Amino acid sequence: MLMATLSLGITMLAQSSTATTTMIQTPHITAPEGAFAKTVLMPGDPLRAKFIAENFLEDARLVTSVRNMLGYTGTYKGVPVSVMSSGMGMPSMGIYSWELYTMFGVENIIRVGSAGSYKEGLEVLDVALTECSVTGSTYALTQNGETATTLYPSQTLNDAIRQKANELGIALKMSKVYTTDVFYTNETWQHIADRTGADCVEMESFALFHNAAALGKRAACLLTISDSFVTKKELTAEERELSFTEMIRIALETAISSDISAVTATSAAGHNQESRKRLENNHVVIYSHGKTYDATGSQVH
């Protein structure tokens, strides 16, 4: 009788606990409400996300693994931080960053990825901070009518990243990044570099910057140079996974900085949002700090 009573009590407690946990499920992410921190580090590779969680976060727990796209939340120096893989390419980054921003309460995403260098002086293992991303992709045009082919990260995040890199004594190379849809192309890298003016190439940041701008969120992109088209030097797959510690340290220190915590708190409360663009009635409108402007910058309502 006692065992039956205890068993019933345990069952009721489990049911009660389950009943108070709201699961949020999309086709790509399934996680409890509140499972993600306000700031997420996003490498492309799920194994790199796992490496960051296991080696840099305390009490890291796996919060989503749908399609083996691994997402973790833990603490860094006592502050909640999440890390989740984005997959490769703008469509994949577009899906995961959009859902994190809109469904899971994320305010800041810092991409921590790899890039190939087009320039002398941007060497393998250098850390590059993206100052703008240029593309020939139609990702933004298809998503909401955005015609710009050069997009920018959050100035707030970039300022914090530069400050933390300086405090850590890590040199940053400010870089114009070419975000491409195509990994294998007949166009030569020299022609791409000349045509775009880019310092390096990757496949995700433009989509991330677009989603952040469209939703009034913040995004930044730190890149470790994994190979150089100029010198032909490159890292192995294992080195790519394990050797990006300087970039990761900068991103984590930024995630817990007081400046980012303060602006995140005001944004989560619905204030001080950075500019975002949308297409309404076939016209681009710009929202900034609670006001609406047309494409010329004139306030409309």
Q: Are 254 and 241 in contact (CB under 8 A)?
A: no
C-alpha–C-alpha distance, residues 100 and 36, integer Å = 8
Q: What is the CATH number of the domain that holds 215?
A: 3.40.50.1580
Residue 287 lies in a domain: no
Mean pLDDT of 258-285: 66
Q: What is the pLDDT of residues 78-132, one digit of tens each?
A: 999 999 999 999 999 999 999 999 999 999 999 999 999 999 999 999 999 999 9
Q: Which residue has the tokens 């995961």?
A: 96
Q: Quick check: 175 pLDDT over 50?
A: yes
Tokens representing 132? 């703008």
C-alpha–C-alpha distance, residues 246 and 256, integer Å = 16
Q: Quick check: 74 pLDDT over 90?
A: yes
C-alpha–C-alpha distance, residues 254 and 38, integer Å = 12
Residue 190 lies in a domain: yes
Q: Quick check: 54 pLDDT over 70?
A: yes
Q: State the residue range of the domain holding 166.
A: 28-272
Q: What is the pLDDT of residues 222-250, one digit of tens each?
A: 999 999 999 999 988 777 766 799 999 99
- The amino acid that residue 287 corresponds to is Y
- Please provide the average confidence, as pLDDT, over all residues in the chain: 87
Q: What is the pLDDT of residues 179-212, one digit of tens each?
A: 999 999 999 999 999 999 999 999 999 999 999 9
Q: Angle formed by the axes of helices 258-268 and 155-168, to 10°?
A: 160
Residue 145 lies in a domain: yes
Enzyme catalytic residues: 227
Q: If 0-12 CB within 10 Å is exposed, 13-18 middle and 19+ buried, where does residue 36 land?
A: buried
Residue 286 lies in a domain: no
Q: Are 260 and 39 in contact (CB under 8 A)?
A: yes
Residue 278 lies in a domain: no
Q: Domain count of the chain?
A: 1
- What's the pLDDT score for residue 49? 97
Q: Quick check: 281 pLDDT over 60?
A: no
Q: Quick check: 275 pLDDT over 90?
A: no
DSSP string covering 164-187? HHHHHT--EEEEEEEE-S-SS-SS
C-alpha–C-alpha distance, residues 175 and 89, integer Å = 19
Residue 292 lies in a domain: no
C-alpha–C-alpha distance, residues 70 and 113, integer Å = 15
- The amino acid that residue 200 corresponds to is C
Residue 88 lies in a domain: yes
- What's the pLDDT score for residue 27? 95
Cα separation values, 283 from 148, 179, 280, 288, 296, Å: 14, 26, 5, 16, 11
C-alpha–C-alpha distance, residues 246 and 61, integer Å = 23
Q: What is the pLDDT of residues 134-161, one digit of tens each?
A: 999 999 999 999 999 999 999 999 999 9
Residue 18 lies in a domain: no
C-alpha–C-alpha distance, residues 44 and 91, integer Å = 12
